[in-house]
């Protein structure tokens, strides 16, 4: 079931691409070897709940990409945190989407969130597991993970 937002307006850029924003949500957990291990939070797809995707969606008319990305992770994944940095702008010529993607450090997981009401789940994966899941179901999103293992995290 795809969630329809009331009064939702799709926004397009000058090239006719739909404007979207997303966040690669991460946390660091202690590993057995004593070093921190980075994990990635994925959400179940709105179209197929056994598939996992990066939380993201359309940019609304009066939003900038960063605001949209923060809103989307709260709605779809039920998390809050600290925006880290821009990972890049990724284009899908087939679907005519252009997505601005950020690295996002999760500091809070909410007990209830908008998309939980429509059956979407969230789950933490190792970077390799997240890469594997995205390769199978959303290969374009797999590229979002290419640099996150070595990127420094800033805590404020």
Catalytic residue annotation:
75
Which residues 6+ apart lie within 8 Å of 141 measured at CB? 22, 53, 54, 134
- CA-only gyration radius of the chain, Å: 15
| Number of residues that this document lists for the chain | 156
Q: By three-state DSSP, how is residue 121 classified?
A: coil
SS3 content of the chain, % helix, strand, coil (to 5): 25, 40, 40
Residue ranges of the alpha helices (H) in the chain?
65-77, 127-137, 139-142
CA proximity to 139, closest of 20, 77, 53: 53
Question: What are phi and psi for residue 96, nearest 5 degrees?
Answer: 60, 45
């Amino acid at each position: 079931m795809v969630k329809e937002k009331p009064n939702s307006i799709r926004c397009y850029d000058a090239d006719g691409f739909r404007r979207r924003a997303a966040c690669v949500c991460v946390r660091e957990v202690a590993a057995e070897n004593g070093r921190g291990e980075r994990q990635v939070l994925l959400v179940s797809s709105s179209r197929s709940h056994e598939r996992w995707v990066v939380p993201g969606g359309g940019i609304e008319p009066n939003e900038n990409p960063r605001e949209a990305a923060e809103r989307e992770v709260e709605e779809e994944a039920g998390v809050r945190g600290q925006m880290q940095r821009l990972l890049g702008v990724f284009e899908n010529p087939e679907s005519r989407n252009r997505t601005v993607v950020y690295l996002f450090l999760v500091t809070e997981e909410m007990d209830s969130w908008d998309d939980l009401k429509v059956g979407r789940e969230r789950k933490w994966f190792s970077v390799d597991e997240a890469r594997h899941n995205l390769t199978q179901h959303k290969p374009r999103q797999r590229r979002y993970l290419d640099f996150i293992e070595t990127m420094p995290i800033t805590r404020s």
